[in-house]
């Protein structure tokens, strides 16, 4: 497990010994988050179920040694002057907060970023992430080169949804990802694909990345999370014909345009920028965590809405709401985009059918017989 380059330029090795009693959770692919609050250890799994670990084996000596190791790689002491330290490996994002700030005790959060998609088409259906019709619709959005924004609350599965959808991009279409924490890992997902991965820093911002990427012949521009002023450059990029995906925090697809307007924080351009969002963002997807009726929860595609400006009126047409198909009435401009790619029925996809067939054969036989293709 390899770490990132520290401030002195050395590449740090995170070993199993370093993680001690935490390592069993690092190794468990079902665990997504490992959080220590100064007294207790909590873990979150792929179903977004969070539980306290009563037999963690964590001691004060271990947790301080762990924090010291993180600070060594960052070449800064963890203290009142530097109360928050962060580090990364190829699969982990580690954050440590000093007791001078976290008065309840030294806090450690580890977010796992797997270099693979946590579900496939069959898994999406089996886990109730979406219905077959909705799965077909999402795949067709990528095939039609739609500009996609996936929204939802923290830990709803926005990035995982984008990773899943990006699996439908043909290998020959160049993809450029721009992230501050490497979570998309497109090159690992599609090693045969044409991909450039960019990482932002204090000296290379999201805006710098977007501007630079537009000179690199992209077909797709992927921003792991849109948070601020860079949204202007993202929409400008979409206006040039480059397609893309990003995520943001909001709880309704219809709120996406206003949420983007608020990021710009410039009252003189609000109306014009909002119109640009409705024009150049094609589809919004809301991913939500919903109760399963048995005391648990699961992730679900809650809404799918298509944006347009028709006759001077800005609209968002919901085809999916409450996790169910509610309409098939597409805005005319969106319908034409589908038709240009030969997609007449947006709720039907031969590609999804092929993938499901292969996955079902694999599950049943442990391989892919010739008959499955």
How many domains does the structure of the chain reveal?
2
- Across 131-157, average pLDDT: 96
Q: Are the CB atoms for 136 and 122 separated by under 8 Å?
A: no
**CA 220 – CA 197 distance, rounded (Å):** 12
Six-digit token string for 254: 């219809």
> Alpha-carbon Rg of the chain, whole angstroms?
22
Point out the domain boundary residue: 112, 129, 146: 112
User: In terms of domains, do 81 and 214 share one?
Assistant: no
* 11-28 pLDDT tens trace: 446 678 889 999 999 989
Residues 203 and 315 in one domain: yes
Report d(CA 86, CA 93) in Å as an integer.
Answer: 7
- Residue 8 has a pLDDT of 39
Q: What is the pLDDT of residue 69?
A: 85
In a domain, 364, yes or no: no
Q: Are residues 219 and 332 in the same domain?
A: yes
pLDDT at 4: 46
Last-in-domain residue among 112, 135, 156: 112
Query: Is the per-residue pLDDT at 345 higher than 90?
Result: yes
Residue 191 sits in the same domain as residue 75: no
Does residue 73 form part of some domain?
Answer: yes
Q: Are residue 92 and residue 185 in the same domain, yes or no? A: no
Residue pair 274/265 in contact by the 8 Å Cβ criterion? no
Residues 42 and 160 in one domain: no
Answer yes or no: do 202 and 277 share one domain: yes
Residue 371 has pLDDT above 90, yes or no: no
Give the pLDDT confidence of 228-258 residue by residue, as tens digits.
Answer: 889 999 999 999 999 999 999 999 999 999 9
Q: Are residues 15 and 105 in the same domain?
A: yes
Residues 353, 258 share a domain: yes
Beta strands 195-199 and 175-179 are parallel
Cα(219)–Cα(142) distance, integer angstroms: 12
In this predicted structure, the answer to whether residue 143 has a pLDDT above a threshold of 50 is: yes
Q: Say if residue 202's pLDDT is above 50.
A: yes
- Hey, how many other C-beta atoms are within 10 angstroms of the C-beta on 367? 8
Q: Residue 15 sits in a domain of what CATH number?
A: 3.30.450.90
- Is 367 inside a domain boundary? no
pLDDT by residue (tens digit) across 48-79? 788 999 999 999 999 999 988 888 776 778 88
**Residue where a domain terminates, one of 112, 147, 164:** 112
Compute the distance between CA of residue 262 and CA of residue 11 in angstroms, rounded to an integer: 39
143 and 96 fall within a common domain: no
Show the domain range for 32.
2-112
Mean pLDDT of 247-275: 92
């Amino acid at each position: 497990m390899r770490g990132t380059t520290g401030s002195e330029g050395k590449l740090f090795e995170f070993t199993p010994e370093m993680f001690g009693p935490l390592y069993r959770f690092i190794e468990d692919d079902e665990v997504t988050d490992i959080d220590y609050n100064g007294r207790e250890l909590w873990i979150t799994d792929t179903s977004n179920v969070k539980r306290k670990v009563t037999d963690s084996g964590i001691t004060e000596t271990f947790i301080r040694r762990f924090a010291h190791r993180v600070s060594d790689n960052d070449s800064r002491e963890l203290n009142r002057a530097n109360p928050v330290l962060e580090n990364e490996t190829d699969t982990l994002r580690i954050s440590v907060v000093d007791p001078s700030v976290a008065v309840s005790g030294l806090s450690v959060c580890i977010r796992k970023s797997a270099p693979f998609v946590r579900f496939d088409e069959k898994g999406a259906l089996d886990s109730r992430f979406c219905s077959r019709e909705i799965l077909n619709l999402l795949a067709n959005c990528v095939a039609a080169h739609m500009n996609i924004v996936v929204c939802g609350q923290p830990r709803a599965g926005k990035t995982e949804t984008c990773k899943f959808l990006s699996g439908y991009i043909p290998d020959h279409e160049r993809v450029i990802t721009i992230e501050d924490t490497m979570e998309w890992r497109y090159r690992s997902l599609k090693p045969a694909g044409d991909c450039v991965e960019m990482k932002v820093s204090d000296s290379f911002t999201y805006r710098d990345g977007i501007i630079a990427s537009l000179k690199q012949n992209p077909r797709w521009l992927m921003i792991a999370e849109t948070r601020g002023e860079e949204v202007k450059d993202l929409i400008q990029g979409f206006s040039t014909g480059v397609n893309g995906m990003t995520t943001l925090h909001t709880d309704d697809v219809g709120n996406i345009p206003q949420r983007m307007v608020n990021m710009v924080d410039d009252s003189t351009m609000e109306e014009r920028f909002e119109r640009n969002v409705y024009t150049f963002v094609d589809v919004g997807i809301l991913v939500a965590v919903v109760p399963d009726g048995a005391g648990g929860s699961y992730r679900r595609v809650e809404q799918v809405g298509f944006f347009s400006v028709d006759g001077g009126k800005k609209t968002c047409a919901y085809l999916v709401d409450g996790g169910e198909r509610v309409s098939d009435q597409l805005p005319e401009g969106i319908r034409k985009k589908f038709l240009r790619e030969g997609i007449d029925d947006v709720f039907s996809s031969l590609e999804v059918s092929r993938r499901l067939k292969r996955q079902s054969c694999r599950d049943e036989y442990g391989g892919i017989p010739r008959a499955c293709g």
